[in-house]
Structure 1
Amino acid sequence: MPHPIRIAISGGGLAGATLFHALHRFPHLDVHIFESASTFHESGMAIGVTRNAQAALELMSPTAVQTLERAGAVPMRGVRFILAQGEEQGKVIGEVDEKTAGKCLTSIVHRAAFLQELLADAPAERLHASKKLEGVDRRADQSLTLHFTDGTSHEYDILIGADGIHGTVRKIVLERSAAAMPRSTGIWMVMSLQPYAEAQASIGKGTIDLEQAREYSWIGQGTYLLHNLLSDGQLVQFVIASKDKEGEPEQWHRTVSNSEIKSLYQKWPQHLSKAVNELFCKETEHRAMYLWEHPPAPTYVSGPLCVMGDAAHATTPWQGSGGGMSIEDSLILSTLLGRSNTPGDALAALKAYDQVRRPRTQRIVESSRITGSILTGTNEEMRQYVDTPGKLLKRWDFILDIDMEKHRDEAISIMEQELRVAWGLV
């Protein structure tokens, strides 16, 4: 009887947890997940799981879909994109309501709750916290020795880097390539999570009913505001963002004072500037996060090593696809590795994963960057989106309208071709 294929996942965030949830159910795969932090947890507040990602969860397993439901995901009733500044203040330039939500269905879920559910039934002996990857030795037979900063080493056949934008595995896979390092977009963001009643009181019941349209995006002139519902409608997430005029700084965070926030939003509609002041200016300053992304990589795979999720294609959040891409990655990787009977088969699986996933994910990263310039009012071609309501929403079509079953089957076909080549049948 062949030995199980030994698979290590480096990174215990949503990407790694989703993949582990799918892989550890295969009896012929010995899968372990290593997290550098002392616990398995998620930072940040919410992600949008669009219908393409939900389709990927359904194809993975019924249990994967159930994790989203148990985490308190909130289906959006509608989305609106509205101008918040200028002569056309208040103009809606993109809207999906309840009648058309079937075409643009997204569920908003709290990241920490989703992660907890994904790992709820994970065997404890396969979860390893406080294990930061330091380096990898590759043997002649392609097996791997993983070295961790705590001085321990472990033997595996496959290493999957799900260790995020700061991860180690991408640097190993890409070696000296300039694409190994992320790049700044110059846009910073501050998030706030508020109880529903407090949020509705601040923004004003008479102007916006948070329950009727689940997500609003307000477009300023170098500024942006988003709010949406979380946790079965009990919480509201607010996000403010702006682009630095100095260019693209190299730091990951900056301090934003109350006076700067008030100055940025003082010419916004009164009910919005009031909400920003009440929800974000209770403290004297905030720690803002800069948005970074990965440049296109020539490959996501190097022999028995590969990257997925943010480690492969870190993106800005403007099209709500960072988490969705990780879920799609997990579907393809779990499908292909689940069909692998030997470590050699697994190498063919990784090659197929790279060929089918890289073009799509890198297109989404580029599209999200451009969408961010539109939503922050810094895009030189902004006029066309103002003059043609609905044009903005079309930027999501190629993301949402993918046939995930066909995408999966394409990956299977590529893997089968790789195996035929490896076996000398072609």
Structure 2
Amino acid sequence: MSPLPAPSPPSFQNPSSLPLAIIGGGLGGLALAISLLNLGIKPHIYESAAFFSEIGAGVTSGPNAVQAIGLIDDKLLAGYKKHATFNKDCERRDTFLSFRWGKDTDGKGEREKERKAGELMFHLDDVWHSEGAELMGVKTRSSVHRARLLDEMVALLPPNITSFGKTFESAEEQADGSVQLSFADGTTAFASAVIGCDGIKSRVRDIVCGPDIQATYVGEYAFRAMVPVKECESKLGSELACNGQLYCGPGAYIVTYPVDHGAFINMVAIPHERGEKWSWEQADWTVPASSDELLHHFRGWHAPLIALIAKYCQPRKWALFHLQHDAKYWKGKICLLGDAAHATTPHLGAGAGMAMEDAYILSNLIAAVRGSDDVERAFRAFDAVRRPRTQTLIENSRVAGLATDFMMEGVGDDVERLKGRFEEWYRWLWAEDLEVQLERAKGLL
């Protein structure tokens, strides 16, 4: 008698074919939907806007983020690579950013000699040769326009899995184990479980973590400019224009990098408010601003750089907030992903990458349990492995912002110490093996 075939592992089953509800159609929500679909799980996206859209210009990815994108879907990685922009110079292939002096220095005090604005401090290279980027066929640092990446994600979604104009209000678990969703337009829907991907101002987070867990202002805001590469090259030279740069100075920094295959240089200037207590009084986090305000904050900085930013600066500034807390990322059949759980400042260029990591880990954990009646085990394991990593990133990013502003205690503008700290942060960020992390999380199921 022939031996019976080994039984296949049980697949995730939704009660009454109810989908998993994804609240929010940003990059994190769409990445999660793509991964769930690939694993045979039916999601439904509820988006408050009338169509998919993304605010902002560049998404920067290091090796860990690229690895996550590739693990989610080969086609998504191909779409990412189609739009990815890298450092132009071959010798900067493994460089994430080149750190430079933002202002002239006088050489007094502990510093041995004068430094000129724009002069190199050090190259932050991937000296560990993290496998994520190399194996995926990209360089250490890659950037894409948010809208381009969103378009690639939307192209991978089947029709009829998204409802637009749905502003989420509440969720309530029912006696049969389903979850009823209520929206601002008076409609309701049912789901087997809910994942909140609704950003830093998440309404889903209020349910999971309580109303006291809110984003806090970090005393910084950003001015943004998109500069044509030809003009940037003529004012700064090709090396500074076409490779990622980070200009450090007292109380502020400026980061520049090419986007849209090098057609434009994205420039972001971030001053830091002095003192230890700050508050953002405006209801909106994006408010009008002028180039005169930029010039006031960056008086004495690298003149050709500041002139370019002032010329192309958008007439507003963006307040920076983060979401540092110790609350669980799940409650019952509701879980949080991406900025809804762990929004961070941009000082390490890792926020979007963390959402990609989340999507890979959470989708595979959901697929590893028997069904929605068991989904809380997946959420619990997700929280166990993701909360420590993402909250550590928030703290590292906060301190990195101080370091670039020469405000980190014990480091100041000491180049060797500054380089050492950034190498520590990026080694920790890039060296994570997501497949090993997933197996560790599955061991907790």
TM-score, normalised relative to structure 1: 0.88
Q: Which residue of 2 aligns with 1:205?
A: 237
Aligned pairs (5 A) from 1:339-358: 339-358=368-387
Cα distance change, pair 112–209 in 1 and its aligned pair in 2 (3 A)? same
> SS of 1:365's equivalent?
helix
* Letter of the structure 2 residue corresponding to residue 413 of structure 1: G
SS in 1 for 2:226: strand
The yes-or-no answer on 1:145 pairing with 2:180 is yes
Aligned residues: 402
C-alpha distance in structure 1 between counterparts of 2:357 and 2:404, whole Å: 25
* 1:337 paired residue number: 366
Q: Look up the equivalent residue of 1:74 and give its one-letter code.
A: T
2-structure distance, mates of 1:47, 1:265: 25
Aligned partner of 1:25 among 29, 34, 38: 38
Percentage identity across paired residues of the two chains: 28
Task: List gaps (5 residues or longer) in structure 2.
Answer: 1-10, 88-92, 107-114, 131-138
Structure 2 equivalent of residue 61 of structure 1 = 73
Q: Which residue of 1 aligns with 2:435?
A: 405
Summarize the Cα distance change of 1:387–1:52 in structure 2 as closer, same or farther, 3 Å threshold: closer
Shift of 1:387: 4.0
User: What's the RMSD between the two structures over aligned residues?
Assistant: 2.2
1:320 paired to 2:349: yes
Cα deviation digits, residues 44-86 of structure 1 (max 9, x gap): 111111111111222223123123123x011343321112123
Q: Is the 8 A contact 1:224 1:241 kept in 2?
A: yes
Q: For residue 124 of structure 1, report the CA deviation from its aligned partner.
A: 1.9
Match of 1:233 among 262, 268, 278: 262
Alignment of 1:145-224 (within 5 A): 145-176=180-211, 178=212, 180-201=213-234, 203-205=235-237, 208-211=239-242, 214-224=243-253
1:2-36 deviations in Å (ceiling 9; x for gaps): 65462000010111011111112333x22101111
Q: What is the rounded CA distance, in whole Å, between the counterparts of 2:353 and 2:272 in structure 1?
A: 25
Q: Please, which of 154, 168, 178 is the counterpart of residue 119 of structure 1?
A: 154
For 1:47, the equivalent position in structure 2 comes to: 59
Q: Give 1:35's aligned residue.
A: 47
In terms of mean alpha carbon deviation, does 306-315 or 290-299 score higher?
Answer: 290-299
Shift of 1:237: 0.4
Task: Call closer, same or farther: CA 1:323–1:385 in 2, change over 3 Å.
Answer: farther
Structure 2 Cα separation of the partners of residues 296 and 66 of structure 1: 35
**Structure 2: distance between partners of 1:184 and 1:314:** 12
Question: Counterpart of 1:84 in structure 2: which amino acid?
Answer: G
The residue aligned with 2:85 is 74
For residue 244 of structure 1, give the secondary structure of its aligned residue in structure 2.
Answer: coil
TM-score w.r.t. the length of structure 2 is: 0.85
Map of 2:133 onto structure 1: none
Report the secondary structure of 1:324's partner residue: helix
Pair 1:64–1:273, CA change in 2 (3 A): closer
Q: 1:304 to 1:123 in 2, by over 3 A?
A: same
- Give the letter aligned to residue 435 of structure 2: E
> Is contact 1:68-1:114 (8 Å) kept?
yes
Letter in 2 for 1:248: W
Indicate if the aligned counterparts of 1:93 and 1:388 stay in contact, CA closer than 8 A.
no
CA distance in 1, matches of 2:400, 2:418: 15
Partner residue of 1:419? none
Please name the residue that 1:96 is paired with: 124
- Whichever residue aligns with residue 409 of structure 1, its letter is E
Letter in 2 for 1:82: R
- Cα distance change, pair 380–227 in 1 and its aligned pair in 2 (3 A): same
- The yes-or-no answer on 1:268 pairing with 2:268 is no
Contact 1:142–1:303 under 8 Å retained in 2: no
Is the CA contact 2:86–2:258 (under 8 Å) kept in the aligned structure 1? no
